[in-house]
Amino acid sequence: MPLYLTDDQAMLRDTAREFMAEQGSIKAQLRHWRDRGCKDGFGHGLWKQFAEMGFTGILVPEADGGLGLGHVEAGIVLEEIGRNLTPSPFLVSAVAFVEGVKGSAARERWLPGILSGDIVAAVAIDEGRKHRPEATAMRAERSGNGFRLNGAKSFVVQGGSADVILVAARTGGSAGETDGLTLFAVDKEASGFGAASERLADSSMAARLTFENVEVDADAVVGEVDQGWAVLTRLLDAGRTGIAAEQVGVASGAMDMTVDYLKQRTQFGRPIGEFQALQHRAAHLYSEIEIARAATLKAQQLLDEGDSKAELMVSVAKAKAGRTATLAVQEGVQMHGGIGMTDEHDIGLFMKRDRALNELWGDANYHAERVAQLSGY
Amino acid sequence: MADLEAFRSETRAWLEANCPAEMREPMRDESDYCWGGRNPTFKNDAQKRWMDAMAERGWTVPDWPREYGGGGLSPAETKILKQEMARIGARNPLMSFGISMLGPALLKYGNEEQKRRFLPEIARGEIRWCQGYSEPGAGSDLAGLQTSAEDKGDHFLVNGQKVWTSYADKADWIFCLVRTSKESKHGGISFLLFDMASEGVSTKPILLISGSSPFCETFFDDVKVPKDQLVGELNKGWDVAKYLLGHEREMISGMGLSGGSSEALGTALRDLLADEPMLRTDVARFDVDAIAFRAMSERFIDELKAGRAHPAQPSMMKYAGTELNKRRHELVMAAGGASALEWESERSKGGKAAREWLRTKANSIEGGTSEIQLGIVAKRILNLPGT
Ligand SMILES: Cc1cc2nc3c(=O)[nH]c(=O)nc-3n(C[C@H](O)[C@H](O)[C@H](O)COP(=O)(O)OP(=O)(O)OC[C@H]3O[C@@H](n4cnc5c(N)ncnc54)[C@H](O)[C@@H]3O)c2cc1C
């Protein structure tokens, strides 16, 4: 398969690009909800529109009423989301959660609502400042024919808006081990469940969740008891690849805005884009973005093919896209000069979003370390 | 698709049967390259057998048309051939400026007679070519070149000097940029082909910091060049020259792929990294960039073959690939420590690590410097203003 978009995929990209630029623009969504102090940080109306466009069903198998497409297609939508900084539940609900519950009993209960854009899902894994899925300490003990959950989660994106939360808890082993983890799909109405939402630097919302003797049925289990690591890795790798695509979009959006500015802004009697010091930095950035885009597409294709090298490529993509987007937003703000530091200008919003995306599900260091380990050193 | 799968299995079987075991071992250094030429030097019999077997099928240039000695393969088939060669670690059967640079330019700008005359002998590795572009006063500003070709009715008379001409002392023929008019800088350049054995051609090797002398000063003193060896139109050689440079840059960008090995650098250096946490971090970051670049390279080739690549994209590839290769060798040297400094010892295979490290520094100079590539990307891809 060639490493570029097929005709069908290019068509989806054109559709998604047009849709997101119109409906998902910074003005219409990010600023709109931010300036109103919205408790969700995104608009449910747009989420419904995502459903009408078919985006929410991209990764849902046809048998479950979805489109049965792959990570390449999900990434196409995410790149446009990144370009417009569109706040939406797409990444967590329609990519990570959907991938996580594939083939489980929970899918019958929750997928229809995601397909229709009526519900929002969250994924609760980390408990500390940095991404360490194997460090999960939250406990799940058998109770009746189900389980009783106790513990706390942090940095749960949209956790306060979610109707269902996919939670990683320990049914065996101890923190630091990959064995003994189990995933549960928990209804937000469950008694003993609490969510405290906080606004992050990029105006998105994340929650700290608490579980106090939360009782769930056996059919809330996603995957096998004690064998949650495999499902967790699968859903995380889908999510990480999705973030890489979103970051390629963030980087491209920031670069386009910056290159336009280099052509417009005049100093010393000429456009600042004539200065070679800036030209070369812009060209280097372009090169990095193209490479990040290729790595991300490769990871998506390998995931879609079920290739054994996918895991390595996912980490390469997340690390590369992360570093590249950070370069793009830093260069973006610097090359805008004073105006780049103002809230009124959009370039600073790219910087904030990039920081949040880097932190989610493993930053560039985490993934470079994973590349080293998977390569046997 | 079914046809492609059939092609893959035939190719696999043919390679298994025809690629000698010695040609499946990684190349140790530049002396393992097979360059062909009028007076070829083969390291062993296997090298010659491998080149001839591949040439016989047109697979030294798999995607060139059959009538010019190529394999006539489609982009998809070419990709499969490369994948199958990589699978068994098969070496490139023939390295050649004829294949990577002149051939593509002739296919686009040569006339029918020139194609039939020059392309098949390139494909078979019979003639070794060198590149006469740079001059002492014309490096990055290549179009400032002064070597002149005077119209003498039935031939051109060439006078002047080239420099940094790689393998000029070993090459049979040269593709050479000459000035045929002083009226216009870019519009006074022509593209000539001639035999290095012609009267009036002389070369003088230059020693590199790596200790070897792969390139030369090249002098032309009243060299007669028949008129039918002009490629493209008179005074329109700059178009040919630029097109060829695109292909040269594409080839040099492959440096970023470390000979096609898919092994991560850290895997190769594993034992040396165990108690060097800072270095291990640097290597891991390098591997992220290198594996990502490999994907970029695959994407670039796919887009190129499908006619979807931006014409200036080879500049971006050349820039990224060569900077990556330099970084790789800095890391190899750091991992090797004092051992990697040895220059002549047998243990160090004659200073292999240090000499290769030094050689890579030329990657971001030859074929147009990194600064020049960045300038091209800025202007032609990002459309930034200025001269
Ligand atoms: C190993 C090797 C093999 C080579 N093989 C060949 C060959 O086979 N045939 C051939 O014709 N040539 C060959 N070359 C020559 C090569 O193409 C030139 O060296 C190259 O184009 C640079 O020219 P220069 O050396 O004159 O450097 P200069 O052009 O003098 O450059 C000096 C420095 O100034 C910078 N610079 C120049 N102009 C600008 C600008 N506009 N903006 C910013 N920075 C600028 C350059 O980037 C560089 O850092 C080879 C070179 C090497 C090192």
Domain spans in chain A, listed from the N-terminal domain onward: 7-120, 123-227, 229-374
Structural contact between residues B137 and B144, judged by C-beta atoms closer than 8 angstroms? yes
The interface predicted TM-score (ipTM) is 0.97
* Residues on chain A touching B385 (C-beta within 8 angstroms): 263, 270-271, 273-274
Domain membership flag for residue B340: yes
Contact yes or no for A357/A325 (Cβ under 8 A)? yes
Domain tally, chain B: 3
Q: Which residue of B has its CA nearest to A292?
A: B292
Return the CATH number at B119. 1.10.540.10
The Cβ of residue A184 has, within 10 Å, a number of other Cβ atoms equal to: 28
Domain boundary, last residue among B235, B250, B269: B235
Which of 1.10.1530.10, 1.10.1270.20, 3.40.50.300, 1.10.540.10 is the CATH number of A7-120? 1.10.540.10
pLDDT band at B259 (very low <50, low <70, confident <90, very high): low
Judgement on whether residues B227 and B289 belong to the same structural domain of the protein: no
User: Residue A16 corresponds to which tokens in the numbers above?
Assistant: 């998604």
Full-model pTM: 0.95
Task: Write out chain A's pLDDT in tens, 377 residues.
Answer: 899 999 999 999 999 999 999 999 999 999 999 999 999 999 999 999 999 999 999 999 999 999 999 999 999 999 999 999 999 999 999 999 999 999 999 999 999 999 999 999 999 999 999 999 999 999 999 999 999 999 999 999 999 999 999 999 999 999 999 999 999 999 999 999 999 999 999 999 999 999 999 999 999 999 999 999 999 999 999 999 999 999 999 999 999 999 999 999 999 999 999 999 999 999 999 999 999 999 999 999 999 999 999 999 999 999 999 999 999 999 999 999 999 999 999 999 999 999 999 999 999 999 999 999 999 99
Q: Angle CA(A311)–CA(A315)–CA(A317) in degrees, nearest 5? A: 115
From the candidates A1, A3, A5, A302, which should be mutated to test the interface with B, based on the most B CB atoms within 10 A?
A: A3
**Whether B306 contacts chain A with CB within 8 A:** yes
CA angle B204, B208, B209 (to 5 degrees): 160
Q: What is the CATH classification number for the domain harbouring B329?
A: 1.20.140.10
Range of the domain at B320: 240-381
Distance from chain centroid for Cα A94: 10
Is B262's pLDDT higher than 80?
no
B311 in the same domain as B290: yes
Residue type, B95: M
Nearest Cα neighbor of B214 from B362, B324, B326, B100 is B362
Superfamily in which the A229-374 domain is placed by CATH: Butyryl-CoA Dehydrogenase, subunit A, domain 3 (1.20.140.10)
B387 found inside a domain: no
In a domain, B386, yes or no: no
Which residue carries 């002998």 as its tokens? B121
Tell me the pairing of strands B148-151 and B189-195: unpaired
Of A245, A254, A335, A331, the residue nearest A295 (C-alpha): A245
Domain identity same for B302 and B374: yes
Give the count of beta carbons closer than 10 Å to the beta carbon of residue A219.
Answer: 14
* A105 vs A119: CA distance, rounded Å: 17
Q: What totals of helices (H) and strands (E) does chain A contain, helices first?
A: 11, 10
Quick one: tokens of A65? 């009423």
Q: Are residues B95 and B150 in the same domain?
A: no
Q: What chain A residue is nearest to B266 in terms of C-alpha separation?
A: A377
Stretch 217-276 of chain A: residues touching chain B, C-beta under 8 Å: 259, 262-263, 270-271, 273-274, 276
Do B29 and B71 reside in the same domain of the chain?
yes
Report the CATH number at residue B225.
2.40.110.10
Same domain? For B140 and B67 the reply is no
**Which residue from B267, B284, B385 is facing A369, i.e. has the nearest CB?**
B284
Residue B137 CB less than 6 A away from ligand 1: no
Task: Please tell me which of the candidates B284, B298, B385 has its beta carbon nearest to residue A274.
Answer: B385
Q: Is the CB of B206 under 6 A from ligand 1?
A: no
Q: How far apart are CA B191 and CA A260, in angstroms?
A: 38
Instruction: Say yes or no to pLDDT of B213 above 90.
Output: no
Inform me whether the C-beta atom of residue B223 falls under 8 Å from chain A C-beta atoms. no
Residues of chain B found within 8 Å of residue A4, distances taken between Cβ atoms: 299, 302-303, 306, 308
In a shared domain, residues B66 and B152: no
Q: How far is CA A21 from the centre of its chain?
A: 19
Contact B78, B305 (CB under 8 A): yes
Task: Please indicate if any CB of chain A lies within 8 Å of the CB of B368.
Answer: no
* Tens digits of residue pLDDT in A314-345: 999 999 999 999 999 999 999 999 999 999 99
Q: Is residue B353 part of a domain?
A: yes
Buried b (16+ CB within 10 A) or exposed e, A315-347: bbbbbbbbbbbbbbbebbbebbeeebeeeeebb
Residue B276 sits in the same domain as residue B246: yes
Cα B282 to ligand 1 centre (Å): 29
Give yes or no for residue B238 having a pLDDT over 80: yes
C-alpha neighbours within 13 Å on the C-beta side of residue A159: 27
Tell me the one-letter amino acid at B165.
T
CATH number of the domain located at residue range(s) A123-227 in this protein: 2.40.110.10
Nearest C-alpha neighbor of B119 from the set B167, B75, B55: B55
The domain boundary residue, chosen from B123, B149, B174 = B123
Question: Which residue's CA is the closest to the ligand 1 atom numbered 31?
Answer: B140
Write out the H or E segment, with its range, that includes residue A254: helix A228-264
Mean per-residue pLDDT of chain A: 97
Same structural domain for residues B261 and B357?
Answer: yes
- Reported as a single tens digit per residue, the pLDDT across B131-156 is 999 999 999 999 999 999 999 999 99
Residue B77 is a catalytic residue: no
